[in-house]
Structure 1
Amino acid sequence: MVSAILSKEPWLHDPLVHDLPWRDAVYGLAKRDSAKLTFAVLRDDGVVTPNPPVARAVSIVVDALKAAGHKVIDWTPPPHKDVNDIAAQTWLFDGGKDVHTAFALSGEPPVPQVEWVYGKEPSNEQSASTIAAVNVAKRKMQKDYMEYWNSTAELTGTGKPVDAVLAPLAPFPAARKETYRYVGYSMWVNLLDYTSVVVPVTNVDKSIDQAYKDFSARDETDKFTNDAYDPEIFDGAHVSVQLVGRRLQEEKMLAVAEYVDKVLRRK
């Protein structure tokens, strides 16, 4: 589908689309060399703890990759809280005016999660200087994260950085009504302009995925996310993970995701 869309040369109709046709060579190379891939795993972003079934899904993939002969290192990048803080600031550059204007068209009230971020009405818009400073911080974070990714070449044993990062997509297996309070596990991918592909792994099993005992929360959001998990309610829900690649690596990451899916199905 991606190849079909790109064959229509959308960059000739949208100035924000990269002039970048589908690269069969990149996709083919990734498929051919899939047995040589190296991975990193981010089990916890240091902000919100993944629920038990999400943590189990990540471990399932790590174990399968290691069994297939791949090296999997720990991913310890610049603090994701700092990445998230920069991203969150961009949401409110206009004080939420655009969001509230959109809701006003129908008179529909914002759902609680939207109101939680943007308030009941627009707030003050940010100054040009503030916006510029946030963009400077964003570029610095992109550079810092890039250099960290480059540094993993010293740990992979191949002389090259990791090919993909395995991570939760969200700290919970599914979004219960009014409990989707944390988006940090996808926010870092968006801010850094990375490539992410989601791979289904397992289902919640209430006999295995019991709630944590003596859980020590980092903050209120971490506590809320943990408290919202109920193995009885979530039993049978799908659990997926994401595989993250660098910027503009869509072809490579699709091939990597296909390969990881095959590795998981061999079990």
Structure 2
Amino acid sequence: MAAKSMTLILTVAIFVSVFLALANGISDMWKLPEVLSRRQAGWQQVASGKRQANLAKIPPDWILEPQLLEDGRSRLSIAGDYIEDLLDDKSRYITDMDVPELVARMKDGTLTAVEVVTAFCKRAAYAHQLSNLLLEIRFDEAIERARELDDYFREHKRLVGPLHGIPLTLKDQFHIKGLDTSMGFIGWLGTFEGEMGTGKERNIESELVREFNALGAVPIGKAPETNNNILGYAFNPYNRNLSTGGSSGGEGAMLALRGSAFGVGTDIGGSVSMPASFQGIFSIKPSAGRISFKDTANTGEGQQVMPTVVGIMGHSVDALRMIFKSLLSLEPWLHDPYTLPIPWRPEKEYNARSELGSKPAFGFLTNDGVLTPHPPISRAMEIVKEALANKGHQLIKWDWPHHRETLEIHSLIARGDGCPDVYEAVKLSGEPFVPEITNLFPNGKPRAPLPLPEYEQIVSRMKTYRQRYLDYWTSTAKRTGDRPVEALISPVTPYAGVLPGKFYPSTYSSSVNVLDYASVVIPVTFADKEIDVVSPNFRALSDEDRANMEGYDPEKYHGAPAAVQLVGRRLDEERLLSLAQLVVEALNNYKSKSNEER
């Protein structure tokens, strides 16, 4: 009788679920077992169903032949020429353009929004098939939105907004109506952040998404965490021995393959800066409060003393500036109480004429005293140093001796609660922990949270650290002979990419979040196995530093991008972006002269 009763209950549940699914227009029937019970279906089955549903959203004529897929997946690099050779001439021409040029071409009528969005969707479809880079796909909806934009342009003879027709992808923390938001957790599929029956499932829009829609930008999909049990590991498209970096690694790889014109990630410890560095693209991680995080899925949501921030990835400083400025033009603080009421401030931008012709001085950090940068990163730093010196900029050696302190501060604040929400999200489906987070759960359970008095002590320590660091920064005026350095140049991490499982926490990135400073990543060069070898004079700073350097292999790292970051003081994004452009121009001039001398 018990078995018959259970069968009857399941039959009724299935009937009701099917009826509700049809009534709500839900066509993704693979979700039915997960909606009934994630545990009944099994996490592998749900993940497989999600992958198949994604492929079904790709137009048949964009599906790559099995032989092409096999060839692509066997190659060390699929960025640049390889993926471009798969494209038709028009798609290649469009997707090679940057945001400002795309907007200009749509404004003068040379290109339509449909042409631009279709070309990027096609390239994104190829990138996804080669590297599993999209958790959510909305190509059909994006092209339909592009048609609406074209209709508006024909009728009104003007663009909808400053980002009219620009395709973007976002890390899968941002809610877009009609799409799941899973953050890579299988148990979140078909739910609202792990909860069912809320009425919010696939029906919430993040404030940032609303803003992009108002500006005319067109979301085409959402990218995954670097490693997850739905799509697997996201490898670096320039060198697939290496990771894309975390946690916005899927977004970084999509930008490296130019599957979108720009991308959006989140950052609490380098999670935008690292993927940008590893994939040879530009990024900005602003201070907290400049870009809205409202209605965005996250873990550790109650932790607001060192909050997760939104970062932007793109193909130039000009693109980052245009996107950042466009977002602020909408006055997001009128919709989000945690966004600061600070509009774009042109007076903060560096202008040589208004600065009495003086050239800005930069701090220069070659080694944080914790982990020595790998040879490609040290070479990238030297290239930047020479490029700026050639332009007459003063470089001040950064002698701050307390970088290691930020590792403990960062860890205790970001993970002080023991990460119970991450644990519960994983356990919803019964999926295993991916290796990158197993250290959070010793013995398979969350750590005990820090007692509140201890947590407050750490926060107080962070505040003291910020004051000490600011005092040091201000003191550099004594060495410049004029005013404090305008920005700090440093590695983003000690590595040009990282071999999976060989990552060591880095103060170069964690310190930026502890200080709530802004950071712009600037790509410089690529690892070269003939040049970038460990010096015989290398002396390790510690056992950890020795292990880090022993993890470097010139052969395995060959071809990986190497970048630097420009760090600015808190809420100084306008100035930082203008200074980043100066650095880029100096680099371009340096490389041009080097090529001429050859």
**Which of residues 4, 17, 21 is equivalent to 2:343?**
21
CA distance in 1, matches of 2:347, 2:388: 24
Counterpart amino acid of residue 90 in structure 1: I
CA distance in 2, matches of 1:11, 1:85: 32
The answer to whether structure 1 residue 66 and structure 2 residue 397 are counterparts is no
Task: Deviation per CA, 1:140-167: give whole Å up to 9, x if none.
Answer: 0000001000100000122x10001110
For 1:29, what is the secondary structure of its paired residue? coil
Task: Deviation per CA, 1:75-126: give whole Å up to 9, x if none.
Answer: 0124101122211211221112122223234443333232224433201011
Deviation, structure 1 residue 27: 2.3
Counterpart amino acid of residue 235 in structure 1: H
Matches within 5 A, 1:134-173: 134-158=458-482, 160-173=483-496
**Which of residues 440, 455, 465 is equivalent to 1:131?**
455
| Contact kept in structure 2, 1:6 and 1:21, CA below 8 Å | yes
Counterpart of 1:207 in structure 2 is 530
Distance 1:19 1:180, change over 3 A: same
TM-score of the superposed pair, with normalisation by structure 1: 0.93
Unpaired runs of 5+ residues, structure 2, are 1-322, 591-598
| Contact kept in structure 1, 2:407 and 2:505, CA below 8 Å | no
Counterpart of 1:233 in structure 2 is 556
CA distance in 2, matches of 1:54, 1:196: 17
The answer to whether structure 1 residue 100 and structure 2 residue 423 are counterparts is yes
For 2:349, what is the secondary structure of its paired residue? helix
The range that moved more, 14-23 or 51-60, is 14-23
Q: Which runs of 4+ in 1 moved over 6 A?
A: none
| Contact kept in structure 2, 1:35 and 1:70, CA below 8 Å | no
Q: Identity of paired residues, percent?
A: 38
CA distance in 2, matches of 1:73, 1:65: 12
Distance 1:222 1:117, change over 3 A: farther
Deviation, structure 1 residue 31: 8.8
The answer to whether structure 1 residue 180 and structure 2 residue 503 are counterparts is yes
Counterpart amino acid of residue 17 in structure 1: T
Distance 1:4 1:161, change over 3 A: same
| Contact kept in structure 2, 1:30 and 1:252, CA below 8 Å | no
Counterpart amino acid of residue 219 in structure 1: S
Counterpart of 1:196 in structure 2 is 519
CA distance in 2, matches of 1:14, 1:24: 23
Counterpart of 1:4 in structure 2 is 326
| Contact kept in structure 2, 1:195 and 1:250, CA below 8 Å | yes
Deviation, structure 1 residue 212: 3.5
| Contact kept in structure 2, 1:54 and 1:239, CA below 8 Å | yes
Distance 1:195 1:179, change over 3 A: same
Counterpart of 2:371 in structure 1 is 48
Point out which structure has higher relative CO (alpha carbons under 8 A, 6+ apart): 1
Unpaired runs of 5+ residues, structure 1, are none
Task: Deviation per CA, 1:8-29: give whole Å up to 9, x if none.
Answer: 2222222221111111222263
Counterpart amino acid of residue 404 in structure 2: K
Distance 1:221 1:73, change over 3 A: same
CA distance in 2, matches of 1:208, 1:19: 48
Deviation, structure 1 residue 211: 2.4
CA distance in 1, matches of 2:511, 2:421: 23
CA distance in 1, matches of 2:493, 2:429: 30
The range that moved more, 126-135 or 99-108, is 99-108
CA distance in 2, matches of 1:142, 1:32: 30
Counterpart of 2:91 in structure 1 is none
Counterpart amino acid of residue 187 in structure 1: S
Deviation, structure 1 residue 4: 1.0
Distance 1:37 1:182, change over 3 A: same
Distance 1:67 1:11, change over 3 A: same
The range that moved more, 209-218 or 148-157, is 209-218
For 2:562, what is the secondary structure of its paired residue? strand
The answer to whether structure 1 residue 245 and structure 2 residue 568 are counterparts is yes
Which has the greater radius of gyration?
A: 2
| Contact kept in structure 2, 1:42 and 1:75, CA below 8 Å | yes
The range that moved more, 220-229 or 143-152, is 220-229
| Contact kept in structure 2, 1:54 and 1:240, CA below 8 Å | yes
Distance 1:28 1:146, change over 3 A: closer
The range that moved more, 146-155 or 106-115, is 106-115
Counterpart of 1:224 in structure 2 is 547
Counterpart of 2:439 in structure 1 is 116
| Contact kept in structure 2, 1:31 and 1:255, CA below 8 Å | no
| Contact kept in structure 1, 2:440 and 2:447, CA below 8 Å | no
